A and B are shown apart, each in its own frame.
Chain A
Amino acid sequence: MSAAGLLLAAVLAGQLDAAGVGRAVAAHRGRPVVLALWATWCEPCIKDFPALEALARERKDVAFISVSIDEPEDRKTLEAFVAGRRPPFPVYVRAAGPDQAFIDGVDREWSGVVPVTLVYDRDGRRLGLLQGEHTRADIEKALARAKAAR
């Protein structure tokens, strides 16, 4: 891999399977967590990415994790996108494997649609599942509920 390629690859936090996503969420126990799953081919995901970044910069009390479901053939596009934006949260990429095992492993209520954002309370309970197009306000509402839950 070229030096430029190594630099680009370094912008990603690593690969996660569904169990890894669960561990990444659990690592933030004690804080609400926003888990965003997206893809570079998903137009609403790209359109709303800046809003997610802005929210993450404002909400230091919340852990933000993002996981791209891009296929390996889209990796260069993904790396260039992340390198260009430098989001204030780690961006993982889904490890190779069957789609359905990943979808159900992350959350059985998830249909497989992207974008999807899951919001967990400080005890790791998933209180929000925002499937398809949604707004920053929708995430904030779920976070308010996560904060209130105890």
Chain B
Amino acid sequence: MTDMVDVLIIGAGASGAAVAWSLSDTRMRIVCLEQGDWPNSSKFPSTGRDWEARQMSERSFSPNQRQAAADYPISEDSSPIKIANFNGVGGGTVLYTAHFPRLHPSDFRVRSLDGVADDWPIDYETLAPFYAENDRMMGVSGLAGDPAYPPKSPSMPPLALGRSGAALARGFNALGWHWWPSDSAIASEDYEGRGRCINLGNCIAGCAQGAKASTDITYWPAAVRAGVEVRTRCRVREITCDDDGRATGAIYYDEDGAERFQAAEVVIMACNGVGTPRILLNSKSRRFPDGLANSSGLVGKNLMFHPATLVTGVFDEEQDGHRGPHNWLWSHQFYETDPERGFVRGYMFEANRGMGPVLTALGGVEGGAIPIGEDHHRAFRQQFNRTTGLVILCEDLPEEHNTVTLDSTLTDAHGIPAPKITYTISENSQRMRDHATARASEVLRAAGAHTVRDQFLGVGGWHLMGTARMGADPSRSVVNEWGRSHDVKNLFIVDGSIFVTSGGVNPTCTIQALALYIADAMKQRLANLFD
């Protein structure tokens, strides 16, 4: 057993970093347990000629494909959408695209506005200052004045529009539809010691330049300077509690595989929408036989992804291809509910510049656009650097049958049960996806594409939300409106698990804004935090 700490954070990703940094000014003793290691940017794929090959192997966003020592297996045969993550300091921000849209004000009021799901216990205005603080810490490029959002001010100019952006812009303009340069956590100028983006184009496998804001190079250095300890290669098995129902700490395996116990006054879960319910469900005790913080029975339920589809257009003119950040332009034209469309809620388009030669070839062969054999070269050259697309992100409504549970047989290297994903795409999401695919095709045609194809992104389970939802009613939620467990007064959750609904945008900046908001709420209540 190690000395008692004031705050124990499980997970050093997007939210763990934000909450650690915010709490560090209290001068409490804070320890973060992280199952992975610090990333080494000098070894990121874009430093080598084999950058695309490595993106598909040891830097794959699929943990089941990657199978690194830091990864745990995921049972996902019962889901058409497969989990994407990264286990290490920085978490998913190391392998994300850094597309940084906020939720809309309406996302917090879906029950009131549209009669579906539940309202959040907080609203956009509550989170707005924390969005802004997070933008400053991460460094966000963008452009003020977007009519799709309440006023906000990105700290750097937008990323380059490029040939692909100009083509798409002309397509959107021809249809009279909204588009705007994305808020992107990629530095368009030198920012806080980080170099500006040099268009390496392989953001999703890690940014060797450091222009992309992953928390290992944003929040964590500041938090560590302020005294927070990050303990890497430490995999948590369970959160322990006493007979009074208070969390006492965590049992974990250290880098040598030895079982350890870390005692803590406060435990904060920051393991994402799959990792957090996994640990809570594995934290069974006499007092909590169904897992910790689970009196509502909702831990692991209401799993939400963003069902995603990539629609690509092939142009006669050269596009940006693999060069430049891939997600740099968005459209929220169809974000808000319109009953005429046959579904509730909506979706976002995020532009996708193109791909490198290997992925162009493999995607083309798989999709039938590029043959193997004699005609390969001609067909390849028609696609390579001439393809630009739109990714559709559909809002996914919460459904209790979409779950994270513990697999009955599969375990990780330490014998901890693996998470099992059970998920189906709803009728509403399917109708939304069909609508969005048709609209994306219209944009690409209007932009000048002569050929348009669509591909469901079953590999795209990046956004993991809803499995420990927040709410005021303990029978209908796992944590309260400031992230504290209803059942365990010194247990907090700050990751995507606490989302009530998913919105139709990438969740990272909201996850981090929530973590900052919860940290602020904790600091304001330090004297009576457990009341």
**A, B from the same assembly:** no
Please report B residues at the A interface, Cβ cutoff 8 Å.
none
Residues of A within 8 A of B (CB): none
